[in-house]
Chain A
Amino acid sequence: MAHTFQQKAFKPGGDAGAEPETESPQPDFIRVKDFNFFYDNTVQVLFDLNLDIPKQKVTAFIGPSGCGKSTLLRNINRMNDLIDGIRHEGDITIDGHSIYDPHLEVISLRKRIGMVFQKSNPFPKSIYENIVYSLRVAGRSKRSELDEVVERSLRGAALWDEVKDRLKESAFGLSGGQMQRLCIARAIANRPEILLMDEPCSALDPIATGKIEDLIHELKKEYTIVIVTHNMQQAARVSDRTAFFYLGKLIEYNGTEDVFMKPQNPQTEAYVSGRFG
């Protein structure tokens, strides 16, 4: 039974008819259960992680370098599969389905999860072709559909007005901040449910960063966003919930305000107040 995620049960924003929208967060949208992760089969980098990521909220992963936050993020769409010699224990489920289900094709998983990388990585193609890439690889090539997706995605990434006249030009002609927004537009082109962002602003100047943060606020209306960041102010500004990792362990996970204002754990307090990290 090679099942893929069911579009119906998985639809972002909820279908007014099928599932009545509830105000309360759905705490178990992405669920990480007793998750351990190893590189080279023996080097453990994540230890007994348990956390639930709510739907249509922004969840920030913070922590010092090497704490495993990116590794966890890259496990959610199984990007770590590319590395030889990895091993995991425990499970990650999305809407109740295990992402490690042997009957699940990793491609169909990734089609439901958009990802934005630390270093913007536009393809050596035109702006237009960058956006429609995920549709093309899915075999969709109806011109009108593609045009519509391009406009919607670029508007969604607040880039439309800047590039609408040069869609056929190379994506390498854009500025750094524009490129990163292009990558966001590309990530949301296929209407994923989840958007993973791996330090999306670390290579950008403050103005470009501000634009992307505004964008994240907009995007969370539609997408469940998980963002890894080194910048604690950014985590405080954009996220609803914050998880603090240290040395591969989840130290504290709570509402963002609570983590920053009333940290329970002394290590968290030390980190968010800037005393180490």
Chain B
Amino acid sequence: MKAKTAFGKNIKPVGEIWVWVTGVGLAMGLFMILFLLGVIVWNGLNYFWPKRIAQIELTETGRTDFRGDHELFGVITMRRALTVENLSPDDADLVDLARQDPDYMREMMVYTGNRDVFATQNFAFLNMGDIERITHPEELMVLERTEWGDAIARPLELRLGTGEVVPADDPRFDETLRRKVDEVRERRSEIHRIERREMGRINTRFNRESLEIRYLRSLDERTPAQEAELERRLATVESLREELQPLELRSQILRQQQSEHSIVFELVGGIERVQPLGEIINFYLPNQMGLFQRVGWFFFKIWEFLTDYPREANTEGGIFPALFGTFVMTILMSLAVTPFGVLAAVYLREYAKQGPLVSAVRISINNLAGVPSIVFGVFGLGFFIHEVGAVIDQVFYPRMVAINTPVFGTGGILWASLTLALMTVPVVIVATEEALAAVSRGVREGSLACGASKWQTIQRLVLPASSPGILTGLILAMARGAGEVAPLLLVGVMALAPSLPIDGMFPFVHLDRKFMHLGFHIYIVALQSPDTEATKPLVFASTLVLIMLVVVLNLGAIMIRNHLRKKLMSSAF
């Protein structure tokens, strides 16, 4: 029935309902993004929060036990309901039990740690109906170790190198342990410094010389000059070896000192363990921590995560090399992609005669942005590594080619950056073209009327005026490039790279080196670690860092862009 108005017609606007549909579309999109971010931020930050350790006692008659025992320590990580459909036939009676106590249809997951003792079992699933009691004894301790992950235990005593024994109920215990662990940590970083920096420097030279020697030895006949060179290099190697010796000795002594004190602690079922303090990285007593201590510990762990090297096949420790590798790679990519993209866009927009050919080129560029990234990885492998890299090696490193150790003819951070630059160049071209097109005709004509050439107009007016738009393109390119993993697999990313792409050794920036990348790190940790359940929080934490890195890089570019905007357009007309 049509509503009649004074004008005899329904004046209700047509299609207003679509406002709601569009609004719902936006709301859905926003919800999904916020949900995604929320999940990552919550889970990522949760990894750093010190959680209380529960001492869980199980009923004697219950169906679940822990390694034949009825007691365990651990962090409760999850509680969930069981569903009737998923019960195994053995557990069918749970449904009846649940009539009296609904807890029988729920279970909890407990992180028990102590991987060395409990084999690889890091987690226990307990039926909540079997739980007698949960307490949080204050003396329970988490010990972070260089190997085997955390120990969750009740400390018994500290055995000092002097033969003195400090029992856990001694008031000096905590303070002594803290002091000794700090000592050990300092010594560990000293060992690290000696082995990584000082010995590393010598080792780098040593390896270089060894490769040259390998080449010279591989020759069937040596000229007198080569013979002399071989002698000289052998002598150098010998002297390097001599330089190494005192350092090796010193690190050995330090390593011995690391195990002079040890801690004794008790696991469930009365298992006693003696652990040298050298294997303890840190310890904390979460059940004694107040809120401020927890917050402090939380930030300390975040800092540690960002600045530490990974341990135990990336499943423990920090992510510094991956973070640094991603950062350097993204910066190198930006340095490569900006000039190419901008120059290409300037030609397309300003110089090329607009016609079917230019339109075809433009469409092709736009489509290039949609090519699966692995295709670029294959291209990078085939072109940069096998072609360009091989040529560079033949010209600059013929000896390395002769002994089959390619320098640029294998994956490295340079090729990875260039591959990603190639992948993201369409984004920069499209954004730059739009920015160039937005520069008004009036300004261009004014410039030409002043006697400027076309290039002068572009260089002095058009490019500066479009720089904010160009930076927008770069921001998009960085966001895409920083998170990309697939192409990197083929062009030089590594799960555990021995050295950083930039360091204190000449020539400081090592473009030929393989590198670590956050995206790849996440992939490795999530899929390639022995216990993926245990590394799940690490995956979220690393993802959070990756997102934050992209955000930081983008904020940097946005700040530059806003500065330029302000400079160019200090007020509107």
**Could you tell me which A residues sit within 8 Å of B by CB distance?**
77, 79, 82, 84, 107-108, 110-111, 113-115, 117, 119, 121-124, 133-134, 136-138, 169-170, 172-173, 176, 183, 186-187, 189-190
A123 touches B573 (CB 8 A): no
Which residue in B354, B442, B450 is a CB contact (below 8 Å) of A133? B450
Q: Is the CB of B450 within 8 A of A121?
A: no
- Residues of A close to B449: CB separation below 8 A: 77, 79, 110, 113-115, 117, 187
Are B568 and A82 in touch, CB under 8 angstroms? no
- Please determine whether A172 and B443 come into contact, CB atoms closer than 8 angstroms: no
Query: Which of A121, A136, A137, A187 meets B443, CB within 8 Å?
Result: A121
Q: Is the CB of A79 within 8 A of B448?
A: yes
Among residues of B, the one whose C-beta sits closest to the C-beta of A138 is B451
Confirm or deny: B257 has a beta carbon within 8 angstroms of a beta carbon on chain A. no
Q: Is there contact, CB below 8 Å, between A137 and B450?
A: yes
Are A137 and B446 touching (Cβ within 8 A)?
no
CB-CB nearest in chain A for B459? A137
B571 within 8 A of A: yes
Task: Name the A residues within 8 Å of B451 (CB-CB).
Answer: 107-108, 110-111, 134, 137-138, 190
B465 is an interface residue with CB less than 8 A from chain A: yes
Which of A108, A110, A169, A172 is in CB contact (< 8 Å) with B450? A110
Are A133 and B452 neighbours in the complex by a CB distance under 8 Å? Answer: yes
CA distance A200 to B461 in the complex (A): 22
By Cβ-Cβ distance, the 7 closest A-B pairs, closest first, are: A121-B442, A111-B451, A115-B449, A170-B570, A134-B450, A137-B452, A121-B446
CB distance from B98 to the nearest CB of A (A): 74
Q: Check B570 against A137 for contact (C-beta < 8 Å).
A: no
Q: Give Cα distance in the complex from A117 to B447, angstroms.
A: 11
* Extra 12 A-B pairs, beta carbons < 8 Å, given A134-B450, A172-B569: A79-B448, A107-B451, A107-B452, A117-B445, A117-B446, A119-B442, A121-B445, A124-B568, A137-B451, A170-B569, A173-B571, A189-B450
- Contact partner of A124 (CB less than 8 A), chosen from B443, B448, B453, B456, is B443
**What size tier do the contact residues of chain B reach?**
20 to 34
Cα distance, A40 to B31, chains bound together (Å): 53
Whether B440 and A107, one on each chain, are in contact in the complex, defined by CB atoms closer than 8 angstroms, is no
8 A–B pairs (Cβ distance < 8 Å), ordered by A? A77-B449, A108-B451, A121-B446, A122-B446, A137-B450, A137-B452, A172-B572, A186-B450
Q: From residue A227, how far is it (CB to closest CB) to chain B in Å? A: 15
Question: B447 to chain A: which residues have CB within 8 Å?
Answer: 123, 133, 137
Residue of B nearest to A190 (CB): B451
B167 touches A (CB below 8 Å) = no
B440 touches A121 (CB 8 A): yes
Residues of B within 8 A of A121 (CB): 440, 442-443, 445-446
- A-contact 0/1 string along B473-506, CB 8 Å cutoff: 0000000000000000000000000000000000
Instruction: Write out the residue numbers on chain A whose beta carbons fall within 8 Å of the beta carbon of B570.
Output: 169-170, 172-173
